[in-house]
Amino acid sequence: MDFHLTCRLDYTVEQPSTFLFHLGVDCNERVEMGEEHLRLEPELPVERLQTPRGLLHRVRAPAGPLRVRYSASGDHNPSVLTAEGIDEVSSADLPAHVLEYVYPSRYCESDLLINTAHDAFGTLDRGYRRVVAICRWIHQRLTYESGSSGSSTSASQTLAEGRGVCRDYAHVGIALCRALNIPARFVSAYAPGLKPPDFHACFEAYLGHRWWLFDPTFMVPRRGILRIGTGRDAADVSFATILGWVAFGEMELEVQMTNLGTDSGVDEEALTIATDSLVEN
């Protein structure tokens, strides 16, 4: 499917500061990039850094106004397979590079949710459909409310408060999966159809030796989710990490996609936007 996206971020830099931008579309075998541009006003040097979490742009900005414009277009081709028969991977058989996604992390305190996870999902059949059940449980338990959480809100706090945004839904899903020894990781993304337009967050679970995409908000078409980065939780892939003293101004974001195709539903079709590599994916 074809995609075109534009993003604009405005800042006031109070003192010379360093920005680490996580804005670039993750270019793996699922994405054929056409054009991609990062422009700054004023013009400044940009350092492009490819990391295991995704593409970073490092910018050293002097004091004053800063406008960041990112745009990208190309073709996105997620892999879609039948969900039947996708099983969980035994902890003894997990590859080394997956193990970090079983541990608790800053926003996904799976160790605090072990009883919750086992009470709700411990008797369900292991595999893909158990993660679907987690997503539906989150969707029923939480109320989506813009501005209801902050940058320090964790999965356990979200469950206690009963509300959150996509970032919080993803954190809860990750924490519950990890509490059941299912590796799970955070995905920051662009996605069409969000109102108001914003960055999106969801998660991937490691099943059948592949990473499968899940979105407990059920707000956007799964085929339209375009990965920016992956990490243990949102702390790893914030769209902007600022090392300095900066005031955030305005943001504009637009994501357009065509030829999304027909989605038979999360119960029937499993979807991955990760590479097929079994070594680093």
| Model pLDDT for residues 130-183, shown as the tens digit of each residue | 999 999 999 999 999 999 999 899 999 999 999 999 999 999 999 999 999 999
What is the model's pLDDT at position 142?
Answer: 98
**pTM listed for this prediction:** 0.94
Domain locations in the chain?
2-76, 79-235+261-272
Beta carbons within 10 angstroms of residue 157's beta carbon? 17
Distance CA 5, CA 172 (A): 28
Q: Give the fold, CATH level 3, of 2-76.
A: Immunoglobulin-like (2.60.40)
Q: Give the fold, CATH level 3, of 79-235+261-272.
A: C8orf32 fold (3.10.620)
Query: Is the Cβ–Cβ distance between 13 and 62 less than 8 Å?
Result: yes
Q: Say how far residue 118 (Cα) sits from the centre of its chain.
A: 25
The residues of the chain scoring below 70 in pLDDT are 276-281
Distance CA 171, CA 50 (A): 25
Distance CA 138, CA 127 (A): 17
Closest CA to 5 of 54, 73, 66, 55: 73
